[in-house]
């Protein structure tokens, strides 16, 4: 391989690297934008998770007293929502 061939090859490789770096930069920006949108949607879709725990607990107790005779309501439903709700339900004797 001649010196000119190697120089041409290096130019081609540098161009390919630059192209891939531009693609990678675009993907990083897209990823960050997607994470931002996900955070925004989570706060819109799941606003109940932003309530203070004492307010959430009051809602649990209210629902429990309101639906105590219902066959469709049970505090065990709360155990499957998330770790925070599970801990809150287990630590509240009035639910049981």
Q: Is 89 exposed, middle or buried (0-12, 13-18, 19+ CB in 10 A)?
A: buried
The reply to whether the predicted model has a pTM over 0.85 is no
Altogether, the residues listed in the chain come to a count of: 96
pLDDT tens readout for residues 69-96: 666 677 888 888 888 889 998 998 888 7
To the nearest 10°, the Cα dihedral for 44, 83, 76, 88? -90
pLDDT tens readout for residues 6-17: 999 999 999 999
* Domains of the chain by residue range: 1-45, 50-95
Q: How many CB atoms are closer than 10 A to CB 88?
A: 19
């Amino acid at each position: 391989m001649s010196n000119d061939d190697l120089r041409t090859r290096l130019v081609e490789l540098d161009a390919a690297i630059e192209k891939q770096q531009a693609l990678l930069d675009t993907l990083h920006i897209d990823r960050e934008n997607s994470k931002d949108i996900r955070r925004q949607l989570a706060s819109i879709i799941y606003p109940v998770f932003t309530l203070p725990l004492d307010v959430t607990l009051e809602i649990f107790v209210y629902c429990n007293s309101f639906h105590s005779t219902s066959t469709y309501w049970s505090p065990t439903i709360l155990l499957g929502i998330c770790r925070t709700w599970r801990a809150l339900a287990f630590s509240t004797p009035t639910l049981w």
